[in-house]
Amino acid sequence: MAENPFANFAAWFEDAKKTEPNDPNAMILATTDGPRPSARTVLLKAWDERGFVFYTNLESRKSREIKANPHAALLFYWKILHRQIRIEGALTQVADDEADAYFATRPRGSKLGAWASAQSSPLPSRAAFETRLAEVDARYPGDHVPRPPFWSGWRVVPDYFEFWQDMEYRLHDRSVFKKSSEGWETGKLYP
């Protein structure tokens, strides 16, 4: 393991991109606004040493929980590699220009879906959603579909990493990195 957890993440993520058949960028996001945490799978869309970015509706359950408690945990699990990475940290909303740039790369159908979906709200029927989608499609008939004002990204700014490697007889290797004022403190955990 390198002393910089981002370097370790880069190496393991590259391995995952070569071996995982579907969505090596899939990560479990856990949030809470009280005693009951919730978890769901989201897709990592960008990362650097500032943190790990995913996009969503700002009125969704996850966004409401993030606004109430701006801390979360991420989990990457790559079954073929027998590896996982846990990341914990605070969340910040990405800048509008960053959200605009990513939104522009999305397929038209995904852009329309962002407008039509009242994410996490009760849906009376699939037909109701399809009607909303048709209305948005008619509103934006050309190639340009602007980013909805209620849609953006969140960046998890890590202060904790745990790299877990499966080992024979469940004698797993666990390396941890904790952010401190001097940089990253490293250590090991029992399996």
Q: Which residues are part of the catalytic machinery?
A: 170
CA distance 29 to 119: 16
**What long-range pairs does 171-179 form, CB within 8 A, spacing at least 24?**
175/1, 175/8, 177/5, 177/8
CA distance 164 to 172: 7
> In what helix (H) or strand (E) does residue 43 lie, and over which residues does it extend?
strand 38-43
CA distance 50 to 56: 19
